[in-house]
A and B are shown apart, each in its own frame.
Chain A
Amino acid sequence: MAGFQVWLVSALASVKPVARLMHTHWGWPAAESLHFIGLSLLVGCIGSFDLRLLGVGKRIPIAALHELIPWGLIGFAINVVTGLLFLMTEPDQYIYNPSFHFKLLFIAIAGLNASAFYLTLYRRTTAPGAPDDAPRAAKIVAATSLCLWIAVIVSGRLLTFYRPGPCGPEGPGVLAECIPRVRRF
Chain B
Amino acid sequence: MHTFFVWLESTGFSIWVRESPSLLAFPAILCLHTIGMGIVAGINGAIGLRILGVGSAVPLAEMKRFLPAMWFGFWLNAASGVALLIAYPTKALTNPVFYLKLGLIATAVLLARSIERTTSRIDDPAAGPLAGRVKILAAASLASWAGAITSGRLLAYTYTRLMS
Contact = CB atoms under 8 A, between A and B. Distances in A.
Interface stretch (B5-13, B58-66, B81-89): B58-66
Interface residues of A, number: 35
Contact of A64 (B23, B37, B57, B152): B57
B149 A37 contact: yes
Interface stretch (A4-12, A134-142, A154-162): A154-162
B150 A64 contact: no
A45 B46 contact: yes
A36 B37 contact: yes
Interface residues of B, number: 36
Interface string B100-141: 000000000000000000000000000000000000000000
B78 interface: no
**Residue among A33, A44, A56, A57 with max Cβ neighbours from chain B (10 Å):** A44
A42 interface: yes
B79 interface: no
Interface on chain A toward B: helix, strand, loop, or mixed SS?
helix
Interface on chain B toward A: helix, strand, loop, or mixed SS?
helix
Given A32-B153, A157-B27, A161-B23, A39 B38 contact: yes
Given A60-B58, A65-B58, A48 B27 contact: no
Given A36-B149, A40-B149, A68-B55, A29 B65 contact: no
Pick the 3 closest A-B CB pairs, nearest first: A44-B42, A57-B65, A43-B38
30 contacts: A32-B153, A33-B149, A33-B154, A36-B150, A36-B152, A37-B146, A39-B34, A39-B42, A40-B149, A41-B42, A44-B41, A44-B44, A44-B45, A45-B42, A45-B49, A47-B43, A47-B69, A48-B46, A48-B66, A57-B65, A59-B65, A60-B62, A61-B57, A63-B57, A64-B55, A67-B55, A71-B49, A71-B54, A153-B34, A161-B23
Interface of A: 29, 32-33, 36-37, 39-45, 47-48, 51, 56-57, 59-61, 63-68, 71, 149-150, 153-154, 156-158, 161
